[in-house]
Amino acid sequence: MALFEIRELSKDFGGVRAVDGLDLDVEDGEILCVIGPNGAGKTTLFNLVTGMIQPDHGSIVFTGQNVVGLRPSQILELGVARTFQNVRLFPEMSVLENVMVARHCRTRSGMLKAVLRPPSFRREEAETRQRAEQALAFFGSRLVGWRFDTPARSLSYANRRRLEIARALASEPRLLLLDEPTAGMNPRETTELIGLIRRIRDELGITIALIEHDMRLVKGVSERVLVLDYGQLIAAGGYDEVASNDRVIEAYLGRKASAT
Ligand SMILES: Nc1ncnc2c1ncn2[C@@H]1O[C@H](COP(=O)(O)OP(=O)(O)OP(=O)(O)O)[C@@H](O)[C@H]1O
């Protein structure tokens, strides 16, 4: 059984059909890239899958459960985490606090316990801290040590993007959705991220789907590439297969000369 099954998924915005009758399976443990020209429906697809918007038609089944109609927090609890095209952190909170907060979906203590601080709360808090530190340690020396206490707003852009991924990891997802993770990164940082994405899958067993415009990353990391155009799946396969597909060249690569 696929980890994720999408059937006949459609979403309209006024007169625009952003996602148009999409059928799509994501296999457990794969690294998948979703590409396509601007406005092809990639972000809308991620928004539908994470419950941020509701489809007009179709089903989205994650580990056997239809998640259409669930709230984003419920979908996160089931194990689908994401990052955003525009980094969304708590700028005044520290690096460590940003990640600890993201574990909220895995903790049980409520407001009362946070005020009274019984032993069960302190145990849970210690575990939350430890798990957050583990998620940050995944990025080598970049987000650890003195950086734990640094406010997120003072991080470099690349480190903010890494912190967003650490936040998603801290929620212990089975499926991680990354929306343009290399936006604003230089070539060296992009190469580093390719290695990191592979490690997330290999070491943590997390299935990864990413939207990306940077073809170095798409080529370097994806085992399967899906190409959307006008909300429809026009091609799927390995990078080389997709890159030589006439419909893709016409719809996407032809319009983006840098995609080689
Ligand atoms: N909230 C919205 N209201 C109205 N139209 C929207 C909304 N969200 C997306 N659209 C439209 O739906 C279509 C698909 O947009 P979407 O952002 O999903 O594309 P994309 O492939 O992610 O593009 P990009 O690569 O530029 O991020 C576009 O025509 C867009 O203008």
Domain ranges of the chain: 4-79+173-255, 92-158
Structure confidence by residue, pLDDT tens digits, 167-222: 999 989 999 999 999 888 899 999 999 999 999 999 999 999 999 988 889 999 99
CA distance 41 to 189: 27
Position 130 scores a pLDDT of 87
Q: How far is CA 143 from the centre of its chain?
A: 19
CATH of 4-79+173-255, one of 3.60.20.30, 3.40.50.300, 3.40.50.150, 3.40.50.2300: 3.40.50.300
How close is the Cα of 140 to the center of ligand 1, in Å? 35
- Shortest-distance Cα residue to atom 7 of ligand 1: 13
Residue 44 alpha carbon, nearest atom of ligand 1 = 18
Q: What does the DSSP 8-state code read for residue 41? A: S
pLDDT at 260: 42
Task: Write down the pLDDT at residue 115.
Answer: 60
Nearest CA to ligand 1 atom 3: 13
Phi and psi torsions of 129, nearest 5°? -65, -45
Give every residue of the chain whose pLDDT is below 50, as ranges: 256-260
Which atom of ligand 1 has the smallest separation from the CA of 36? 21
Tokens 């895995």 found at: 106
Pocket lining: 42 vs ligand 1, CB cutoff 6 Å: yes
DSSP string, 118-185: -HHHHHHHHHHHHHHHHHHHTTTTTTSGGGGGSBGGGS-HHHHHHHHHHHHHHT--SEEEEESTTTT-
Best mutation site among 10, 11, 16, 213 for ligand 1 pocket (most ligand atoms within 8 Å of CB): 16
Q: How far is the CA of 43 from the centre of ligand 1 (A)?
A: 7
CB-ligand 1 contact for 107 (6 Å cutoff):
no
- For residue 23, report the phi and psi dihedrals to the nearest 5 degrees: -115, 130
Please give the number of the atom of ligand 1 that sits closest to the Cα of 19: 14
Task: Say what the ipTM of the complex is.
Answer: 0.95
Cα(14) to centroid of ligand 1, in Å? Answer: 12
- What angle, rounded to 10 degrees, do the helices at 157-170 and 95-102 form? 30
